[in-house]
Amino acid sequence: MNPIICHTALEAISLIKSGETLWTHSMGATPQLLLDALAQHALTRSNLTLLQLHTEHAESLSHPSLKNHLRHRCYFGGAPTRKLLQQGEADYVPIFLSEVPKMFRSGEQKIDTAIIQVSPPDKHGICSLGISVEATLAACQVADKIIAHINPMMPRTHGDGFIHYNNLTAVFEQSKALPQHVIDSSDKTSQAIGRHVATLVRDGDCLQMGIGAIPDAVLSCLCGHKNLGVHTELFSDGVLNLVELGAINNSRKKVHPGKTVTGFALGSQRLYDFVDDNPSVIFMDIEQVNDTAIIRKNPNVMSINSALQVDISGQVCADSIGTQIYSGVGGQMDFIRGAGLSEGGRSVIALPSTALNGTVSRIATVLSPGAGVVTTRAHVHYIVTEYGCAYLRGKSLKERARALIDIAHPKFREQLCQETFEMWRLQL
């Protein structure tokens, strides 16, 4: 059945009725034009729920006028939703990213309408979800309606992210540049952390890393490495130079050898040009990408993630600042556990030693009240700051405290030692 061809984004979005549960395509594929239209349309509807991961340029949906019309339900917070989450005006769902598609497919979470952005159909009538497959493929498979922005500027990527034009309910076509996320990793702290993490990476490792200054700083230090692979939830521009240098060739992987595997990408136009029609990069369903049983099949998995706070026992808070929700659980534990089970695998949590312009130590005696433990102290291998690496696996609480205080900012070390004795009765 052919989709309804709409002349405006609002015309397409007008198919949404009161009481519906919606899913929006996320990350760099956030369908901004359709979401801006939804912000307008929602004022004429009530009790809409918008399921989402991190979105880009979707601030229009956070306007106060939408209260009682649309409520955000976030599996991962981002700039457009963070304030709402912290004010209790949006809902945060802590969940491993790998389990989001499972909830959709099992029917545990119903979806009435999926709002997506795709490439134009090819000669076979097949569109591509482009630079972001994540949980959107699963959402499209179960949604009653699919409303799509067909964007000629969306790269056509290989992997799982295909949807037939005839499966779309309504379409609206317009060229629009995708969000670009250019990262500056040249600051001294990120570079120092990058150098420390790079010493832990071995030739032939299979890398998982996030987006940000620290992952890019790590990647910039790996130019001399050989036979690296990539099986990651997401990647950005930092990977490109290593591919061009031949440092990343995916030759040692057991799962999808020769292929860079990801769930989504977010970066510069150079990155989007690189993944366009590139069979060496496959964008896969995040239920597969982040499946611990699949991750562990690759040998020497090296998982590199970040955190907001770590306590001296090794508990890792990555989704909140105290009770204030900042981001989400995401795939950190999916990959830390997968790396831990991989033959020769290791995991790293990398973070600056301080926050708030050096006034707060991110390595704390105890986590802030309400802080979310995303990675337990039993799962942690390495914690890295600009002051060095602390190896915690198999270490006692006393040994962990000593190692972590040694990589805390020097001005906080004496205080941490004193508090560790007072709170934990550990004599260091």
* C-alpha to C-alpha distance for 370 and 162, rounded to whole angstroms: 41
CB 28 within 8 A of CB 182: no
CB 157 within 8 A of CB 178: no
From residue 300, alpha-carbon distances to 210, 342, 346 in Å are 18, 6, 7
Structure tokens at 311: 């306590």
Residues, the chain: 428
* C-alpha to C-alpha distance for 16 and 145, rounded to whole angstroms: 9
Structure tokens at 267: 């970066």
DSSP string, 179-206: P-------SHHHHHHHHHHHTT--TTPE
* C-alpha to C-alpha distance for 204 and 259, rounded to whole angstroms: 14
Per-residue model confidence (pLDDT) at position 182 = 82
Positions marked active-site: 233
Per-residue model confidence (pLDDT) at position 422 = 95
From residue 301, alpha-carbon distances to 3, 14, 76, 280, 391 in Å are 43, 46, 25, 19, 17
Phi and psi torsions of 415, nearest 5°: -60, -40
In tens digits, the chain (428 residues) has pLDDT values of 799 999 999 999 999 999 999 999 999 999 999 999 999 999 999 999 999 999 999 999 999 999 999 999 999 999 999 999 999 999 999 999 999 999 999 999 999 999 999 999 999 999 999 999 999 999 999 999 999 999 999 999 999 999 999 999 999 999 999 999 887 778 999 999 999 999 999 999 999 998 888 999 999 999 999 999 999 999 999 999 999 999 999 999 999 999 999 999 999 999 999 999 999 999 999 999 999 999 999 999 999 999 999 999 999 999 999 999 999 999 999 999 999 999 999 999 999 999 999 999 999 999 999 999 999 999 999 999 999 999 999 999 999 999 999 999 999 999 999 999 999 999 88
- Buried (b) or exposed (e) across 77-97, using 16+ Cβ within 10 A? bbebbbebbbeeebebeebbb
**What number of H helices and E strands is found in the chain?**
14, 29
Global pTM? Answer: 0.95
* C-alpha to C-alpha distance for 372 and 294, rounded to whole angstroms: 26
* C-alpha to C-alpha distance for 334 and 288, rounded to whole angstroms: 11
Per-residue model confidence (pLDDT) at position 328 = 95
Question: Could you report the per-residue pLDDT of 308-335, keeping only the tens digit for each?
Answer: 999 999 999 999 999 999 999 999 999 9
Per-residue model confidence (pLDDT) at position 296 = 98
Amino acid of residue 164: H
* C-alpha to C-alpha distance for 287 and 282, rounded to whole angstroms: 14
Rounded to a whole number of angstroms, the distance between the first and last alpha carbons of the chain is: 71
* C-alpha to C-alpha distance for 100 and 54, rounded to whole angstroms: 13
From residue 245, alpha-carbon distances to 195, 223, 227, 233 in Å are 19, 7, 11, 22
- Which of 59, 14, 35 lies closest to 116 in space, CA to CA? 35
* C-alpha to C-alpha distance for 85 and 97, rounded to whole angstroms: 18
From residue 276, alpha-carbon distances to 157, 204, 293, 331, 341 in Å are 5, 26, 29, 25, 33
